[in-house]
Amino acid sequence: MYSQFIHGKLVSNQASGYQLVARSADLTNEVSLKTMAEKTHRFWGARPPETPKAVGIFWQEDKLVLIKAETAVDAQNQLVINGTRGFNQHRYVFISVTSILAWQGRTFPLLSWMYEQPIPVLDRFQADLPHLSIPPLEEVKSAEIRENESQKIRLCLEEDNRNDPLFFSALSAVVNGKRLLLTNQNIDNPPENWIESILLLLPAGIRPQISIAIGTLEEQGCTWAKLVVKTNQHSSRSLPENTLWLNRATQTFEGQSEENTFENRYVDYIRDHLAQAPDTLQQLIQKLDEIVDDDITLDSLAQSQIIIRLIPVLPEEQQDELLSKYISELTIEKWAELIPQIVNEDYQQGLVFAWTELGKKKTLEAQAISLMLKIWSRLLNSQLVQSLDELQKNLPLAEILLKHGLLQQNRRTLEDPGIVETLIALCKSVVADKAGSDWLEAWKFATHLATHKLFEDEKETFSLLDTALLGNIPVTDLYKFFTFKLASLLPNIEVEQFKQSNLHGQLTTKNRELADLLDILLAECHAGLANLPKIANLIEMDNATKDNWYATFLKKWSPSWENAKFLLVEVIKETPNSGNHFSRYEFHQTYTWFEPQQPELKQIFNNLQQNYNCENWVNLAEAIYDIQKEQTEFVDSLVGNIFPVAVMHKWLPLIVNDENLRKNVIATSSAWQSLTDEEFNQLVRSSQQYVPTLTRCLRDGDSLRLSWIKGDLLHYLGQTWIRQKRIDEDLRDVITSSRVTDTLTTQDRLILQCLSWEPGIELNLELLLGVKTVLTPEQKVDLQMKAKTIVADYNDAEQTRRLLNDCAGWGLGLNERKEILEAVKPSACNFKLIIPYLYLEGKVINLAEEQQLIGLLLQLELNDPERVDLEKFSVDVFTQYILPSRNLEWLKWWRDKSLEKQVYQKAFESVAQKYMQNLSMKDFGNYIKELKTYSLVEEARWMCKLIPREIQELLA
């Protein structure tokens, strides 16, 4: 049920004027309803044509409005009167967007229905007119209806014999923004069919945007309608602006057209589509029915995002031609906009086309790579096979895509054995191709690929990595490759595979003994385990790597105790001993495997093992020493190099107020000397209350560590000073010294800059920040937000000026600084600060866009020169935005905000003096009335004083 209202006259013997005679209860804004009926949406001017009857539809805010106009008649179709004469009525019905979109935007059938509906006549005003039911919106579109729609379009296309049907020219004109007028000429195909056909060949989201008027009307009186069918007499000499009359009798367009009026890329596609596959017309309409995007407009129809959704309607064998014509040679940015649409439609042929087009790029940018990977993730198996075949012929492209995660993009690649095999072959081909020119890069690439699930089979992993071992690889690098990747794979490798490998060939020429030992190990299997330590020592493995390698063989081969115990003997020999205490830490995995093999091993190992952590060392220190300083020195000397952060936590409370102890600690502490940059930052974050102390430690210690005065340290140091509202004088020179500032990052400099703005912080950064680097967009936003926060607490305009100057120096633009200025209190602002932001290229800014800033300006107390400038600015604004366009609401706002009333009056009178010269007496009088309507009585009086007295008396 839909809201409605009726505009006309009441049935009465007493004559009255046209008025609102009925409305639904929810339509309470009667002024708006009258404006629509009396001014903005009518079919004719002051005098209607004979036997007026017309219907239309238009978009009003967020609703569609059906409109019908006709001579008022009663239920018996007899003329009714008001006074002694008949009258006309207009009926308006409001339809929600959701209702019409659910009907695929088909507005035309509503007009046919509306045309037949009588308009009720009333003898008294009705404020609760019942909502109107519209049966067509409840109907389901049958196959017969769809076929009838298609047939209407065919009739329009066949109406003339030209190769390029007139219909497409009409459609282009509408899409390009022209109003189209059709008349009821003596032709078998009625003009209404043209209107409906034009709408049907537009996306559903566009159709409701096309306003329509049909019936006995004046084309000059309904300029709101984009499509007009005039059933009464028409003369082409009376065409309104931007209107074309389609003279179907002569098959010509009359009216003013531009060079490109009849050319449109979207319409070109529709033409090509129907030329190639005319039998798909109904499917094309159904696809257009589905396009209901919120942001779609006539201007966006020619974009690839729309056309790509229509191409799948074509038979597959015909799609590539139109893809090449309408979608190819796009920029990366256009592809980035288009591919999500193709993915959303799951248009496989479109995805393959996009993949091929992107692959043609001579230089594959990061965005293009990302797009190709996105496409890959959505390809089905048949398209995957096709794409893999293309990549085998273009290994450089394959390498790029593999490096950027091709294997991670499509889960279907692991579900098809054939695709898995092809992918593995592609990976090996790329690695082998790269190894021919750069074995190191080939190795890095192979290790990257080997992490994927595709290579869960360790034999395949070994084969992939081995493919990279071509060329003359230095023995040290070969050993590294073996140690960190290949060694752990050997338990699953057959001796024959190993002997035929590139690895075996490399070892045979560089270390024959090592190659022979590996041959024996893999040939004898369990019986050869005792050779593992010999092999490890030849390759110079460290103990941790040895432990991991030994444990790998033991877990995978599960040898008997008899075969494994010789390996255990060798491991015990290599186990480090310290202070007569046995530690199994470095061979923990190996010992853990052996523990269940013989029951007594576990207890033996436990008796030998020492628990090694800082907490236990601290507990030991506390048991030995009563004084905290001595406890900390003990722990520092033993494990300070192992647990530097934890040990420094113990030192900080002791040295915070003891300068001599602090200097002694930084000179002798193992923990302090062992700290890395990262560990120091960790210490800073976990000990924020000691940041000044840590800064003094850096100042008094190794000068190389002055570069650690940065990042979090600067941040927390600044927070400390802000809280205490002063700077530690002994640290001021440190953070601004060249030894520190030379290493500061832009972010560090921004921290200092923001600190210098804080009230109470005296920090001269003129030399430090004299040369400012270019900020990233994110840094600019962050700097702006901090500036807005700080400036809000200012009470001095000079503070504001310095801050804005600093922001300008950092590259913040006029608009960004303007937003900062808007956060300032009036007490921290002055005229000179604001006025530069109110002009752009010598012209005043848009009043509506900068209301807040102008409001701030108007509330300032000014001196005489500033009043002159304010008057000039006011004159500019009144001239450009207020008086000629009658923005009296703004004028009233300006008056109410103005502290300088005399300046306001002078500016108003100056502009009014010039403006009045172009007004007729009638317009002047209306203007005065309108001023008074907005309570601008003084302004009306000022304007009247500006005209001659005799005219004032006439107006009075």
Ordered DSSP codes for 576-626: -EETTEE--GGGHHHHHHHGGGSTTHHHHHHHH-----HHHHHHHHHHH-S
Among 96-110, 247-261, 800-814, the minimum mean pLDDT is found in 96-110
Beta-strand pair 19-23/581-582: unpaired
DSSP labels, 299-314: TTTTSHHHHTTTGGGS
CA-based nearest residue to 754, from 828, 816, 810: 810
Q: What is the pLDDT of residue 945?
A: 86
Q: What is the pLDDT of residue 624?
A: 44
| Cα–Cα distance for residue pair 835/396, rounded to 1 Å | 58
Burial of 189-203, coded b for 16+ CB within 10 Å and e otherwise, reads ebbbbbbbbbbbbbb
User: 142: which DSSP letter?
Assistant: P
CB 545 within 8 A of CB 483: yes
pLDDT tens digit sequence for 565-604: 777 767 766 756 454 454 667 888 987 887 788 777 666 6
| Residue 348 C-alpha from the chain's centroid | 25
pLDDT tens digit sequence for 421-445: 999 999 999 999 999 889 999 999 9
What is the average pLDDT across 198-214?
95
- Residue 374, pLDDT above cutoff 80: yes
**Residues 6+ away with beta carbon under 8 Å from 508:** 515
- Residue 488, pLDDT above cutoff 80: yes
Tracing tokens 């009857």 back to the chain, one arrives at 53
- Residue 732, pLDDT above cutoff 70: yes
Q: What is the pLDDT of residue 736?
A: 81
Among 765-779, 794-808, 900-914, the minimum mean pLDDT is found in 765-779
- Residue 564, pLDDT above cutoff 90: no
| Cα–Cα distance for residue pair 240/234, rounded to 1 Å | 12
Q: Which has more pLDDT, 185 or 410?
A: 185
Beta-strand pair 88-96/63-71: antiparallel
- Residue 41, pLDDT above cutoff 80: yes
- Residue 817, pLDDT above cutoff 70: yes
Q: Could you give the angle at the alpha carbon of 49 between the alpha carbons of 48 and 55, nearest 5°? A: 80
Tracing tokens 């877990």 back to the chain, one arrives at 555
Give me the chain's average pLDDT, please.
Answer: 87
CB 114 within 8 A of CB 58: no
Q: What is the pLDDT of residue 445?
A: 92
Q: What is the pLDDT of residue 577?
A: 43
- Residue 765, pLDDT above cutoff 80: no
143-288 under CATH 3.40.50, yes or no: yes
pLDDT range class, residue 123, cuts 50, 70, 90: very high
Q: What is the pLDDT of residue 640?
A: 81
Q: What is the pLDDT of residue 605?
A: 55
- Residue 607, pLDDT above cutoff 50: yes
Residue type, 447: T
Q: So where are the chain's domains?
A: 4-138, 143-288, 613-675, 863-955
| Range of 52-61, 95-104, 597-606 with top mean pLDDT | 52-61
Crossing angle of helices 332-345 and 348-359, in 10° steps, is: 160
Calculate what percentage of the chain has a pLDDT beyond 70.
Answer: 92
- Residue 351, pLDDT above cutoff 50: yes
| Range of 98-107, 529-538, 782-791 with top mean pLDDT | 782-791
pLDDT range class, residue 616, cuts 50, 70, 90: very low
| Cα–Cα distance for residue pair 651/633, rounded to 1 Å | 9
Q: What is the pLDDT of residue 580?
A: 46
Q: What is the pLDDT of residue 463?
A: 93
What is the average pLDDT across 350-359?
88
- Residue 623, pLDDT above cutoff 70: no
pLDDT range class, residue 617, cuts 50, 70, 90: very low
